[in-house]
Amino acid sequence: MPRETSDGFGTAAPTVSAVVLSYRDEPWLERCVHALLQSKGVDVEVVLVDNGCTDGAVDRLAPTPGVTVLRPGENLGFAGGCNAGAARATGEFLALINGDLVVEADALSELVASAEKPGVGVAQPSIRLSDDPSRLNSDGNEVHFLGFSWCGSFGEPATKRTAPRAITSVMGAAMVIRRGLWEELGGFEPRYFAYHEDVELCRRCLLRGLELVNVPSAVVVHRYEFGRESSKLYLSERNRLLFVLTSYEVRTLLLLALPLIVVEIAALVGAAATRTAGAKLAGWAWLLRNRRWMAERRKLLQSERLVPDAHVVHLFATRLRAGNFPLPGWMKPFDSLLALYWSVARRFLTPA
């Protein structure tokens, strides 16, 4: 990849490989790729992964200088698609950018400036909503102590954030990580397919003592669709449990056993009421079938941690307050009871 200079002294600009996935109809894909190639202060290559694009956008972009197209011949999911693209990356930094997202010219350079700092694992920009770019899609994702995850500050004014800050998790739609760290972690676990793979990767960074950072000066606009994928309920619920059961320490799991069981029963009842119980049961069945692999995954994640759960529990959300998916009124008292339980249980995780 050719390198350009970022100043008048001949200093080479940081090299960034932007991995972009394409899936089904992608009305913003061409805008996304061209915006990445026009980034300032960094030298960018785009690795475009065709996960099943149906509107011809990938074919139109294929001849573009600086763009490499991968055609795996099947939908690898978000996790597998990012892994495939990252395997072809040559940059010092890896940017994962959704095909329905447009970066501002200096967004990547701002993110690289944070991601290259010692002690930083992943940097996330200020992700704005396309129908009102003055409002946030995410300023860093929240993660509940039972594993639920959602867009932080969804719909709130973007002006609420003015300085970089530590966050619990990044939104996989737009993130920058050192390629060396990505390779050390082995990328996303492909069995997640989609949803929560970013949560697991971020938790692994935190448990290695690395910080996750939101960079408000790096601005991107996202054509956000909450329910684009029909299998979202199945994948998100299955993967939430996969994340909790493999990432948490034994002591944490024992403390959360009761609320986890109660919430799973409540989730099944709720799914039955909306005629989606099949998706919930299918998730449980997948976990049961893959229990041996999960045991191996758990062994790996626990062996690589450098700090106990007690060092990161302060980052967990205690209430289910997703702006993009408001809690039903009947659930609010239950949510309060869960928060009360956690306020007591977390004290047993505090190191002596």
The yes-or-no verdict on residue 9 having pLDDT over 70 is no
Name the residue with higher pLDDT: 310 or 329: 310
Amino acid identity at 246: T
Of the pLDDT bands very low, low, confident and very high (cuts 50, 70, 90), residue 350 is confident
CA 269 → CA 145, 148, 260, 280, distances in Å? 21, 18, 14, 10
Of the pLDDT bands very low, low, confident and very high (cuts 50, 70, 90), residue 160 is very high
The yes-or-no verdict on residue 4 having pLDDT over 60 is no
What is residue 335's predicted lDDT score, i.e. its pLDDT?
94
> 66-84 burial by CB neighbour count: b if 16+ within 10 A, else e?
ebbbbeeeebbbbbbbbbb
pLDDT digits (tens, 9 = 90+) for 215-228: 999 999 999 987 66
3-state DSSP helix/strand/coil % of the chain, to nearest 5: 45, 25, 35
| Three-class SS state of 50 | strand
Q: For the residues 151-170, what does the mean pLDDT come to?
A: 97
The yes-or-no verdict on residue 6 having pLDDT over 90 is no
The yes-or-no verdict on residue 324 having pLDDT over 90 is no
Q: What average pLDDT does the structure give for the chain?
A: 94
Burial of 315 (0-12, 13-18, 19+ CB in 10 A): middle
What is residue 2's predicted lDDT score, i.e. its pLDDT?
42
- What stretch(es) of the chain map to CATH 3.90.550.10? 15-222
Q: Which percentage of the chain shows pLDDT scores above 70?
A: 95
Sequence-separated (6 or more) residues with CB below 8 Å from residue 67:
33, 37, 45, 46, 48, 61
Lowest-pLDDT range, 28-42, 192-206, 271-285, 313-327?
313-327
**CATH number 3.30.70.120 given to 15-222:** no
- DSSP character at residue 1: -
Task: Give yes or no for a contact between 99 and 19, defined as CB atoms under 8 angstroms apart.
Answer: no
What is residue 231's predicted lDDT score, i.e. its pLDDT?
87
pLDDT digits (tens, 9 = 90+) for 293-321: 999 999 999 999 999 999 999 999 999 99
Sequence-separated (6 or more) residues with CB below 8 Å from residue 302:
249
Task: Give yes or no for a contact between 100 and 78, defined as CB atoms under 8 angstroms apart.
Answer: no
> 282-311 burial by CB neighbour count: b if 16+ within 10 A, else e?
ebeebeeeeeeebeebbeebeeebeeebbb
Q: For the residues 42-62, what does the mean pLDDT come to?
A: 97
